């Protein structure tokens, strides 16, 4: 009783089996099963199974064994040729042939010499069906000759000179391995300076004193005979020179600038360059017009040797070695040609044919030069072999037609060129055999329900039989709808059920007869654990019980086994196993672990596990809680096309019960290295039935999770690849948009490799016009994400669908989406454009919508272009600044904000789609009404006198209409910064200068100035100025750092002739004289009186200096004068005018320069808001106060 499971192979329908098996006869040979009983009965031509190598180097100290083994039915006989003639072994007493073999043994140990048996040997194995021959086996004894005696003179060189120590080993067979050692058999050290060449010579790029020695010895080792030959020692003495002259590199080997190297395909290409020079040159390698193969390139001998393994014809070319040191570089080019001995492209294969069938023998080889193909039959050139009407030679192919049993023979294909040859035997065996079924009769297959069953029917026959299966004594032939038929005759029941129980008959038929065989199937109920053991936490010394109740098929015998941590239970009487449970008494700490109940039958087994945690009955230190250890021992069972069962062993839970297991998968075929979530199961399960997708190479891993966290992943399971199937979904994000007016670009998000369900993923793209009666147009494209349909009408709706397919079939019918072909520019401009001016800065525009058909695309909105009419001075500009406002959607009106008052504007409207703008509507002109003007551009006070001030200004930069007049308001400011009565004055609009007369002497005034249009007044600017003093007093000049708008006195009073001034100067001179006397007295007494420091420390900031170079005076700065004026009364220090209620940049309206001169030459200083006791800064003079300045402080 057994269940025989065989690997699944290609699925065939029952109806197609005979046809496909028949076709196989015409395109491939029969395969003879390796069944001993079958092989005993079938005749078969000879086949060489073992032979000695073509180039056979023997050890002359041992007997010569030339191997030749062959098989065939009947067993073949053997014969040999030597050097092309028959080798009669019976005449040579030293030569014997092994029984039932063609292997020759030549006994040269007792007598004879190996050289006597040198030559070319060939073995022939023959029976009644043909003759097979071996390769030509060239026998040569190995040789290890001695060095010829020679006298070697000592070598003496100066430090830094190059040197080559020759080896010149004797020629042996095979060639010797060369190495250099000293008398102590220690290898001589080698480096970039000293190294051994491929020819065995020892090269010195430059010699050093430490190279001096008398025992440079070259050794030749002959491995075949395990002998070593030694050359006479060479003595070298290096003389130290005071200085060695450095020199650029030159090559020691190879010579010249270029050389040639030829190598055979598959060998190791070795290129060598060794250079001398001082300092020692370094060697670099490049390949001209190419790169060196990374994974096959090896550098040896300190980069002096370049080796390319497994050389091929592609490695032919020019290789350049470069030797470089600090004094220069040289290069040598080696031209490499790769030739090739013949190698197989397709060696001939044995043919087993039935009478009347056709077949071919194909012999294809390549090489460089191209090999010549020749055929032999039974060891004889086919040109002189007996004629066979069933065969025809066509170059490298022999074609057989309507073969008969006499056509059986062994054919040899020989492919040869100047570098070698290939010889292959292939027989044609014509058999006429009725069907035979090789599977044992009445085999009983027992299988568990819901698992697959495989019923064997191994068969042979010539011609190849057809196979049919039947159920029951009089049942009809089985079909593919339930069963799966395999090429080897096996019947597969994918999911066995109870009603599959019964007798099945396999029938094999060909034209020579019929054979049948019966097998029996029994479907059993699966074994289940209906009550599983549960997780338990018990105290030390107590008793614990684990339940395990099993239900199984009544015809099977179930055994229950308990395991602890996957091993046998401890041999301890405390453990008691009953029928349905396990009892552990007097629990100890080491009893903790995983207990597994395993239920076995002869057909299946199931298991369930539970964890026992042992805790102390008395308080103990808290256990260390951690994430679980990773699961292990992952195993895949019940492997079906769309599912597999994964089982595992949990790791240690680290004192926190496992709550769940997380299963992840990797698709090694499409996304190697990426893990995806597959499933989750409870923490009590150790198996999971996993649903699989087609055409995926699955690996699984498991992670455990407890209340602490998640474990590390387990080791990956074995890989399991599912069969291919048709795609089960279609691409998403399907869209149809045109990139040009006459095309439709269909795009989609392709399926990924996992979703493809099989190889050869493609897409069927279909489309038709939505509003037409056309049929669907379809095209199948490669795995891309776009297809362009050309020649479409402009902006027409299309219905689109994209369906996935692969080599197995199509995905389900895809959903239909709507797209549009490409857009073109709109054809019609909006009409009936109207403008309604709302106010001086805002206008409302209305228009009529354009017809939808004229839009020729998706309506995105309407766009208004508008621009201000140019003045005559602006018309010379090439560029007109146009402003654009876009209104989304189908709106037919919009507002134009930010217009300039009292201006002429022009606008047009255009419709916009996804392609761009349509034509513009006719230009529509409109004008904005007047608005209030901006502030005057500037305001300056010039020509101050005792009772008058002259104001100059520039008109507003934005009059926003026609100016009707200016308004000037001004008021005096007294010494306490109180404002006097406000005077209002109207000035004609055409004026830019105005003089105020009859003002108070030495009085500060504040001015407010603005322009007006018919709409109203505009923004104002302010300014301050001071009239000059009367003739008896100084002018009231503001401090030097007062704002640039403050006027300075223009008339200087000659005070040097005033009496009060003369008296004051005398008092000052007397005071200075007294201070000098006091200082002199204190100095004579030894005291120190730092007058300068004291004066600097107590300098009166109210005394302002006079600049003698420009004739201006500093103004008196009173404490009261530094009180801040009302808001808007100050002028910024950069002489720009600040305008009230204006957000415009001051730079646009101010002069922007500090310290300007007025027309009369007086200086307009800056108003300073410094406190009284702060040091003087700005344009104050650093000179000592003059008497004039001192007098100013009393004004």
Give residue-wise pLDDT tens across range 625-635: 899 999 999 99
Per DSSP, 1073 falls in state H
- At 1145, the pLDDT band (50, 70, 90 cuts) reads very low
The confidence score (pLDDT) of residue 34 equals: 53
The confidence score (pLDDT) of residue 405 equals: 84
The confidence score (pLDDT) of residue 453 equals: 93
Give residue-wise pLDDT tens across range 1077-1131: 988 887 765 544 443 443 344 444 333 333 333 333 333 333 333 333 333 433 3
Whether residue 174 has a cis bond before it, omega within 30° of 0:
yes
CA distance 606 to 594: 16
Tokens of 291: 């790169």
Whole-angstrom CA distances from 17 to 304, 356, 433, 439 are: 65, 21, 20, 19
747 pLDDT more than 70 = yes
Least confident range of 197-201, 647-651, 785-789, 869-873: 869-873
568 pLDDT more than 50 = yes
- Phi, psi dihedrals of residue 411, rounded to the nearest 5°: -110, 140
Q: Cα Rg for the chain, rounded, in angstroms?
A: 56
Give residue-wise pLDDT tens across range 505-524: 999 999 889 999 999 999 99
4 pLDDT more than 70 = no
The confidence score (pLDDT) of residue 33 equals: 62
Bridge partners of 410?
427
Q: Are β-strands 567-568 and 119-127 bridged in parallel, bridged antiparallel, or unpaired?
A: unpaired
The confidence score (pLDDT) of residue 1097 equals: 40
Listing DSSP states for 132-161 in one string gives: EE---EEEEE-B-PPPPP-----EEEETT-
CA distance 481 to 488: 19
- At 463, the pLDDT band (50, 70, 90 cuts) reads confident
Least confident range of 23-32, 74-83, 507-516: 23-32
- At 80, the pLDDT band (50, 70, 90 cuts) reads very high
| pTM, two decimal places | 0.47
Whole-angstrom CA distances from 180 to 171, 216, 232, 780 are: 17, 7, 12, 70
Tokens of 464: 């190849």
The confidence score (pLDDT) of residue 607 equals: 94
Give the contacts of 1112 (CB within 8 A, at least 6 positions apart).
Answer: 1037, 1048, 1106, 1162, 1163, 1165
Q: What is the mean pLDDT of residues 408-425?
A: 94
Tokens of 60: 């002359």
The answer for 976, left when phi > 0, alpha when psi is -120 to 50, beta otherwise, is alpha
Tokens of 354: 């039935």
Q: What is the mean pLDDT of residues 839-854?
A: 92
The confidence score (pLDDT) of residue 676 equals: 93
What is the CB-side half-sphere exposure of residue 939 using CA atoms within 13 A? 28
Buried b (16+ CB within 10 A) or exposed e, 933-943: bbbbbbbbbbb
15 pLDDT more than 70 = no
The confidence score (pLDDT) of residue 1117 equals: 36
Tally Cβ neighbours within 10 Å of residue 626.
15
24 pLDDT more than 90 = no
Give the contacts of 189 (CB within 8 A, at least 6 positions apart).
Answer: none
- Phi, psi dihedrals of residue 1057, rounded to the nearest 5°: -100, 0
Cβ proximity of 209 and 296 under 8 Å: no
- At 380, the pLDDT band (50, 70, 90 cuts) reads very high
CA distance 80 to 100: 15
SS3 of 27, please? helix
Beta strands in 849-899 (DSSP E): 859-868, 883-888, 893-896
Tokens 């490799």 found at: 753
Smallest Cα–Cα separation from 490: which of 21, 5, 31, 18? 5
Residue-averaged pLDDT of the chain: 83
The confidence score (pLDDT) of residue 364 equals: 95
Give the contacts of 1187 (CB within 8 A, at least 6 positions apart).
Answer: 1064, 1065, 1068
101 pLDDT more than 90 = yes
Q: What is the mean pLDDT of residues 953-982?
A: 90
CA distance 739 to 746: 10
SS3 of 118, please? coil
Give residue-wise pLDDT tens across range 535-554: 999 988 899 999 999 999 98
What is the CB-side half-sphere exposure of residue 119 using CA atoms within 13 A? 13
Bridge partners of 175?
none
Give the contacts of 1021 (CB within 8 A, at least 6 positions apart).
Answer: 935, 936, 939, 1008, 1009, 1010, 1137, 1138, 1139, 1140, 1149
CA distance 732 to 748: 6
- At 113, the pLDDT band (50, 70, 90 cuts) reads confident
Give residue-wise pLDDT tens across range 867-922: 998 754 455 555 678 899 999 998 999 999 989 899 999 999 999 998 899 999 99
CA distance 297 to 816: 57
From the number of C-beta atoms within 10 Å of its C-beta (0-12, 13-18, 19+), residue 326 rates as: exposed
- At 345, the pLDDT band (50, 70, 90 cuts) reads very high
Whole-angstrom CA distances from 231 to 224, 227, 367, 967 are: 20, 14, 41, 124
Give residue-wise pLDDT tens across range 287-342: 998 899 989 999 999 999 999 999 999 999 999 999 999 999 999 999 999 999 99
459 pLDDT more than 60 = yes
Q: What is the mean pLDDT of residues 718-743?
A: 91
The confidence score (pLDDT) of residue 1143 equals: 39
CA distance 701 to 678: 10
Q: What is the mean pLDDT of residues 408-435?
A: 93
Smallest Cα–Cα separation from 1105: which of 1181, 1164, 1003? 1181
The confidence score (pLDDT) of residue 1058 equals: 62
Tokens 């489309």 found at: 767
CA dihedral 249→254→257→260, nearest 10 degrees, is -150
CA distance 813 to 397: 48
251 pLDDT more than 80 = yes
The confidence score (pLDDT) of residue 978 equals: 85
The confidence score (pLDDT) of residue 1152 equals: 35
CA distance 680 to 702: 9
User: Secondary structure of 1124-1190 in the HEC alphabet?
Assistant: CCCCCCCCCCCCCCCECCCCCCHHHHCCCCCCCECCCCCECCECCCCCCCCCCCCCCCCCCCCHHHH
CA distance 615 to 159: 84
Give the contacts of 855 (CB within 8 A, at least 6 positions apart).
Answer: 826, 911, 913, 918
- At 1161, the pLDDT band (50, 70, 90 cuts) reads very low
Q: Are β-strands 44-51 and 466-471 bridged in parallel, bridged antiparallel, or unpaired?
A: unpaired
The confidence score (pLDDT) of residue 475 equals: 75
753 pLDDT more than 80 = yes
Q: What is the mean pLDDT of residues 141-170?
A: 89
The confidence score (pLDDT) of residue 875 equals: 52
Cβ proximity of 69 and 51 under 8 Å: yes
The confidence score (pLDDT) of residue 473 equals: 75
From the number of C-beta atoms within 10 Å of its C-beta (0-12, 13-18, 19+), residue 100 rates as: exposed
Of all residues in the chain, the percent with pLDDT exceeding 70 is: 83
Cβ proximity of 703 and 661 under 8 Å: yes
């Amino acid at each position: 009783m057994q269940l025989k499971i065989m690997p699944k192979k290609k699925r065939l329908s029952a109806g197609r089996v005979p046809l496909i098996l028949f076709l196989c006869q015409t395109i491939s040979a029969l395969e003879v099963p390796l069944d001993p009983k079958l092989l005993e009965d079938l005749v078969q031509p000879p086949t060489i199974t073992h032979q000695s190598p073509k180039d056979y180097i023997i050890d002359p100290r041992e007997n010569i064994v030339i191997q030749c083994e062959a098989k065939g039915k009947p067993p073949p006989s053997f014969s040999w040729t030597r050097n092309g003639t028959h080798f009669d072994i019976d005449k040579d007493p030293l030569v014997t042939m092994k029984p039932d073999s063609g292997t020759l043994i030549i006994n040269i140990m007792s007598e004879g010499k190996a050289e006597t048996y040198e030559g070319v040997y060939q073995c022939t194995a023959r029976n009644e069906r043909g003759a097979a021959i071996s390769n030509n086996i060239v026998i040569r004894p190995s040789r290890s000759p001695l060095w010829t005696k020679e006298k070697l003179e000592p070598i003496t060189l100066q430090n830094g000179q190059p040197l080559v120590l020759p080896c010149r080993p004797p020629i042996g067979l095979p060639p010797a391995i060369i190495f250099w050692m000293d008398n102590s058999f220690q290898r001589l050290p080698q480096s970039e300076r000293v190294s051994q060449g491929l020819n065995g010579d020892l090269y010195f790029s430059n010699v050093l004193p430490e190279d001096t020695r008398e025992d440079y010895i070259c050794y030749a080792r002959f491995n075949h005979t395990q002998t070593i030959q030694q050359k006479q020692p060479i003595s070298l003495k290096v003389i130290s020179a005071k200085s060695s002259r450095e020199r650029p590199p030159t090559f020691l080997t190879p010579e010249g600038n270029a050389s040639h190297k030829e190598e055979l395909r598959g060998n190791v290409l070795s290129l060598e360059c060794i250079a001398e020079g001082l300092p020692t040159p370094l060697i670099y390698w490049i390949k001209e017009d190419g790169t060196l193969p990374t994974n096959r390139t090896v550098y040896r001998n300190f980069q002096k040797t370049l080796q390319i393994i497994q050389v091929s014809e592609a490695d032919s070319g020019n290789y350049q070695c470069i030797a470089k040191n600090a004094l220069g570089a040289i290069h040598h080019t080696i031209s490499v040609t790769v030739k090739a001995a013949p190698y197989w492209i397709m060696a001939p294969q044995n043919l087993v044919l039935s009478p009347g069938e056709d077949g071919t023998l194909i012999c294809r080889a390549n090489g460089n030069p191209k090999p010549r193909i020749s055929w032999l039959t039974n060891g004889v050139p086919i040109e002189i072999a007996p004629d066979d009407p069933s065969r025809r030679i066509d170059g490298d192919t022999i074609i057989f037609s309507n073969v008969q049993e006499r056509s059986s023979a062994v054919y040899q294909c020989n492919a040869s060129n100047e570098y070698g040859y290939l010889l292959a035997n292939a027989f044609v065996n014509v058999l006429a055999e009725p069907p035979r079924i090789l599977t044992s009769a009445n085999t009983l297959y027992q299988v568990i329900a819901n698992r697959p069953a495989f019923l064997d029917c191994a068969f042979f026959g010539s011609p190849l039989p057809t196979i049919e299966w039947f159920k029951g004594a009089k049942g009809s032939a089985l079909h593919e709808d339930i069963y799966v038929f395999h090429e080897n005759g096996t019947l597969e029941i994918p999911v066995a059920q109870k009603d599959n129980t019964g007798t099945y008959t396999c029938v094999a038929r060909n034209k020579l007869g019929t054979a049948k065989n019966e097998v029996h199937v029994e479907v059993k109920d699966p074994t289940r654990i209906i009550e599983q053991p549960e997780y338990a936490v018990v105290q030390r010394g107590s008793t614990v019980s684990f339940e395990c109740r099993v239900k199984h098929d009544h015809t099977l015998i179930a055994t229950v086994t308990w395991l602890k941590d996957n091993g046998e239970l401890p041999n301890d009487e405390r453990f008691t196993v009953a029928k349905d449970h396990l009892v552990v008494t007097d629990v100890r700490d080491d009893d903790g672990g995983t207990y597994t109940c395993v239920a076995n039958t002869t057909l299946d087994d199931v298991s369930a596990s539970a964890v026992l945690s042992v805790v102390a009955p008395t308080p103990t230190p808290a256990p260390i809680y951690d994430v679980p250890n990773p699961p292990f021992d992952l195993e895949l069972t019940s492997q079906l096309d769309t599912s597999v069962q994964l089982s595992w062993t949990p790791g240690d839970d680290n004192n926190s019960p496992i709550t769940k297991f997380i299963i992840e998968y990797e698709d090694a075929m499409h996304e190697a290295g990426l893990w995806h979530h597959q499933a989750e199961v409870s923490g009590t399960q150790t198996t999971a039935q996993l649903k699989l997708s087609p055409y995926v190479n699955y690996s699984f891993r498991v992670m455990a999770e407890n209340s602490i966290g998640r474990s590390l992943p387990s080791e990956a399971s074995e890989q399991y690849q599912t069969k291919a199937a048709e795609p089960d979904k279609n691409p998403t994000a399907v869209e149809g948009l045109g990139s040009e007016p006459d095309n439709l670009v269909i795009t989609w998000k392709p399926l990924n490799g996992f979703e493809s369900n099989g190889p050869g993923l493609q897409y069927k793209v279909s489309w038709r016009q939505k509003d037409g009666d056309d049929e669907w147009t379809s095209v199948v494209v490669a795995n891309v994400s776009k297809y362009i349909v050309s020649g479409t009408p402009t902006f027409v709706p299309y219905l689109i669908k994209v369906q996935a397919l692969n080599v197995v079939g199509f995905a389900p019918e895809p959903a239909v989406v709507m797209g549009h072909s490409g857009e073109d520019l709109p054809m019609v401009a909006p009409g009936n454009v109207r403008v309604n001016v709302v106010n001086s800065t805002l206008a409302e525009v209305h228009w009529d919508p354009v017809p939808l058909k004229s839009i020729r695309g998706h309506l995105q909105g309407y766009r208004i272009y508008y621009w201000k009419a140019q003045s005559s001075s602006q018309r010379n500009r090439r560029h007109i600044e146009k402003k654009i406002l876009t209104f989304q959607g189908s709106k037919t009106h919009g507002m134009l904000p930010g217009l300039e008052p009292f201006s002429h504007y022009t606008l047009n409207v255009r419709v916009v789609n996804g392609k761009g703008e349509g034509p513009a509507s006719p230009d529509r002109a409109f004008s904005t009404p007047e608005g209030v003007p901006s502030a005057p551009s500037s305001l300056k006070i010039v020509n101050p006198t005792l009772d008058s001030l002259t104001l100059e200004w520039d008109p507003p930069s934005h009059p926003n209409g026609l100016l009707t007049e200016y308004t000037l308001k001004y008021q005096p400011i007294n010494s306490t910064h109180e404002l006097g009565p406000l005077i209002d004055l109207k000035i004609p609009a055409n004026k830019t200068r105005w003089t105020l007369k009859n003002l108070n002497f030495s009085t500060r005034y504040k001015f407010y100035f603005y322009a007006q249009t018919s709409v109203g007044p505009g923004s104002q600017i302010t300014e301050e100025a001071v009239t000059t003093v009367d003739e008896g007093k100084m002018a009231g000049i503001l401090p030097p750092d007062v704002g640039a708008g403050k006027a300075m006195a223009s008339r200087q009073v000659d005070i040097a002739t005033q009496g009060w001034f003369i008296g004051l100067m005398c008092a000052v001179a007397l005071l200075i004289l007294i201070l000098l006397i006091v200082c002199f007295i204190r100095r004579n007494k030894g005291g120190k009186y730092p007058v300068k420091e004291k004066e600097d420390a107590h300098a009166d900031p109210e005394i302002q200096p006079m600049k003698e170079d420009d004739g201006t005076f500093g103004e008196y700065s009173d404490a009261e004068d530094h009180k801040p004026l009302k808001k808007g009364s100050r002028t910024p220090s950069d002489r720009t005018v600040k305008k009230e209620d204006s957000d415009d940049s001051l730079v646009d309206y101010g002069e922007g320069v500090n310290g300007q001169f007025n027309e009369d030459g007086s200086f307009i200083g800056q108003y300073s808001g410094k406190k009284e006791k702060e040091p003087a800064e700005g344009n104050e003079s650093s000179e000592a106060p003059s008497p004039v300045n001192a007098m100013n402080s009393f004004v």
